[in-house]
Structure 1
Amino acid sequence: MATGCFGCLSGSSQGKEEKPLIIDVEQTIADAAWDSFLHCHGRCRRRFLRRKNFKIEVPINFYSFEQLEQTFKPRKRRAGAVDAGCGNGPSGSRLEGKALAHRDQTSPEHTGLETVFNNDTGEEQTYNFKFEKIRKATISVSYQKGYSIGGKANFSLGLPKVLSDGSAGVELDMHVQVSKTTGETFEESLTTSATSEIKVSGYSHYTASVVMEERSLVADFVLDIIMSMPAKRAPVYIKDKKTGQQVFVYNLNSLLDLFEDNPDVTRVKDEEGKVRADAVQFRIEGKVDGMQLSSHTINLSGRKIPGRELNSSGSPDAAQASDGARTSDAC
């Protein structure tokens, strides 16, 4: 095994070009190792060294990524929206599917199911009410600033529950693991069910309405992450692709020096207030966009059927129709 210039250079030779918004830490470390490898050879020898002929291995297990506090700021986006609603209620009201211009996207949206019970007899009747629906919602997560490892994202995000006023609550709705720098979509499924007995008076029309609430989550998020080297140093191996022989070992001993030219990477201090050489802090900035499944309510209302009131003899004034239950899914 050939090992060259163990402590030749510990920093990276950074150019003056514009820095990427998403920093690939693995690529940055590999670049530093390659620069160190080149500087261990004379000028003539460097002319014959081609990076494509070598494999640079960056063991990520020598690094730790600690997530700090995350913050969310809901956006007040205004656009047309559609409310999918239920069928006609007893008072003639209807949650109609219609576009609402300039609707605040943080306000709730509703879907519903309506079941109508008609009792055309003079006796009280009992009906079984059963409701079950699988609800699905999707959340898209993307970020425009931060870091990646070999072109892949590597952080988790706790999505807060959206409150009725559109703000982000303290309680978390779900956690997602983000692995793509180009953005990811996550799906949440929830089964909503209810079972009940409904007693309907004689010659009455009862309506059971189930209203399910969904809340839009459109927010910007900020997440700080500390990258560190628990062992205070981390090796990088360079191998000849043709022979597989290890030709160089680069020891990185300062993340502070490695990222010193990048203004988006901040310093980390220890408990005594001293700047740590083995750690730096990244800030991830991105957005989430989607829906959250919220609560559901069951409303029961009723009215007498016109022309079906009992007369003094206890029989209906009009001919009776068969009783029954009618269910309409208006979603």
Structure 2
Amino acid sequence: MPRLIDNLVHFNGKHDESSPALSHKMGLVNLRDLVEATAHKWYKDNEKDSTKAKWGRTYNWKELVKEIDWRSLKVRHDPVIYTDLEMPGAPKNHILFRSSFLNDTNREQDYNLKAVRRTVSTCSFSIFEGYTTEQTASLELQVPLPKCVLEASTGFRREYTLEQSRDKQVEEELTWSVESNIRIPGMSQTTAELIVQEDEYHGTFEIKSYFVGEIRVKLYKDAQEILSLEFGDLEDLFPREKGFRKDSRGIYRITRGECKARFGISQKVELHAKPLPTQDTNHRTIQQQDLRKNSMKDLPAPSAPVTILRELVATIN
């Protein structure tokens, strides 16, 4: 039986571990909703013994302000496990910069190529099974990036925090620069392209999170504290039908989600050269044009078109 001690109620109930196991895919649960639901149930069953004994009256649950103290609740996360890995395929090329150099002399020329461009690498996390909370640092979920993404030197941090939402997208800016001399042969045109290669990653992950400690709920009416409830056994708050399980280490919940990333991995400069037309080539082109003109001199001049006018006479009967 719960005991009322200085307006503080302790809970130490147990759940029946023999209940049939449910599906592991339980979706998302909000810890605040679970705590408030349990507190509400107790309040309905005991409001006359608790509030009326102390305040001489009872209060409507909807009129009360609920304040949850999470400070004594700790969450310990096991290492993340990535599954269903879709390894990056052939990198995709993206041209960030293009410049053409024209040398219409017979001498070789040197040009300086200098360019700075920026790209954005993106990474998104989506949670489709697990728990959400209010803004509580101790309950935040740290999700590290998979090894293949980190090893690509993409500019991402090693891990990211999923705060209170089920989705998160991060962007990291990368700077690509090139500075080199390009030698252009005489009578030629060279095009230089700065190309960045990008990879993509898509995989699912899961994290087992253990909950340790206690949670306190304070109820207020018009800024006056009416009741303080302390949940000392987390099995009262986190039941099996909501996806929580218990082993020798304690109460835990599995979080499952997916990670998608698009990131630059390398850069390269490609040179494409082609010769310019020489003077001999230009001379032959002019001669060919003159021959075409001369061959048309003996052709008869085109005659003017003849227009035939016909008068239409209307016949009246």
- Give the structure-2-normalised TM-score: 0.68
From 130, 134, 142, the equivalent of 1:146 is 130
Comparing 174-183 and 59-68, the one that deviates more: 174-183
Instruction: Confirm or deny: 8 A CA contact 1:12 1:35 kept in the other structure.
Output: no
What per-residue deviation string (whole Å, max 9, x for no partner) do you get for residues 2-23 of structure 1? 943633x334999xxx996212
From 218, 226, 239, the equivalent of 1:237 is 218
User: 1:202 corresponds to which residue?
Assistant: 186
Displacement of 1:75 in angstroms is 6.1
User: 1:220 corresponds to which residue?
Assistant: 204
User: 1:54 corresponds to which residue?
Assistant: 64
Instruction: Confirm or deny: 8 A CA contact 1:160 1:171 kept in the other structure.
Output: no
* Structure 2 residue runs without a partner (length 5+): 17-22, 283-317
What per-residue deviation string (whole Å, max 9, x for no partner) do you get for residues 160-179 of structure 1? 3657xxxx969884333222
What per-residue deviation string (whole Å, max 9, x for no partner) do you get for residues 199-220 of structure 1? 2232333332222112222222
The answer on 1:248 being equivalent to 2:236 is no
What per-residue deviation string (whole Å, max 9, x for no partner) do you get for residues 96-154 of structure 1? xxxxxxxx985432211332322222222110101221212333322111011139983
From 159, 180, 204, the equivalent of 2:145 is 159
Aligned length: 264
Instruction: Confirm or deny: 8 A CA contact 2:26 2:243 kept in the other structure.
Output: no
Letter in 2 for 1:64: K
* Structure 1 residue runs without a partner (length 5+): 77-103, 270-274, 309-315, 320-331
The answer on 1:30 being equivalent to 2:36 is yes
User: 1:86 corresponds to which residue?
Assistant: none
Q: In the aligned structure 1, how far is the partner of 2:73 from the partner of 2:163?
A: 17
Which aligned pairs between 1:90-239 and structure 2 lie closer than 5 A?
106-112=89-95, 113-150=97-134, 154-160=140-146, 162=148, 173-174=156-157, 175-229=159-213, 233-239=214-220
Letter in 1 for 2:219: I
Letter in 1 for 2:12: S
Residue 256 of structure 1 aligns to a residue in which SS? Answer: helix
Letter in 2 for 1:67: H
- Which of structures 1 and 2 has the bigger CA Rg? 2
Q: In the aligned structure 1, how far is the partner of 2:60 from the partner of 2:76?
A: 36
What per-residue deviation string (whole Å, max 9, x for no partner) do you get for residues 271-328 of structure 1? xxxx54xxx222111123342222111223545x2554xxxxxxx7678xxxxxxxxx
Identity %: 18
Comparing 25-34 and 246-255, the one that deviates more: 25-34
- Give the structure-1-normalised TM-score: 0.66
From 56, 77, 81, the equivalent of 1:71 is 81
Q: In the aligned structure 2, how far is the partner of 1:171 from the partner of 1:117?
A: 32
Q: In the aligned structure 1, how far is the partner of 2:266 from the partner of 2:92?
A: 11
Q: In the aligned structure 1, how far is the partner of 2:71 from the partner of 2:135?
A: 17
User: 1:297 corresponds to which residue?
Assistant: 268
Letter in 1 for 2:262: M
Higher strand share: 1
Instruction: Confirm or deny: 8 A CA contact 2:73 2:211 kept in the other structure.
Output: yes
Q: In the aligned structure 2, how far is the partner of 1:195 from the partner of 1:116?
A: 15
Instruction: Confirm or deny: 8 A CA contact 1:107 1:216 kept in the other structure.
Output: no
Q: In the aligned structure 2, how far is the partner of 1:214 from the partner of 1:4?
A: 61
Cα 1:61–1:55 change in 2 (3 A) is: same
Cα 1:121–1:161 change in 2 (3 A) is: farther
Residue 105 of structure 2 aligns to a residue in which SS? Answer: coil
Cα 1:248–1:48 change in 2 (3 A) is: closer
Q: In the aligned structure 2, how far is the partner of 1:284 from the partner of 1:66?
A: 13
Cα 1:156–1:215 change in 2 (3 A) is: same
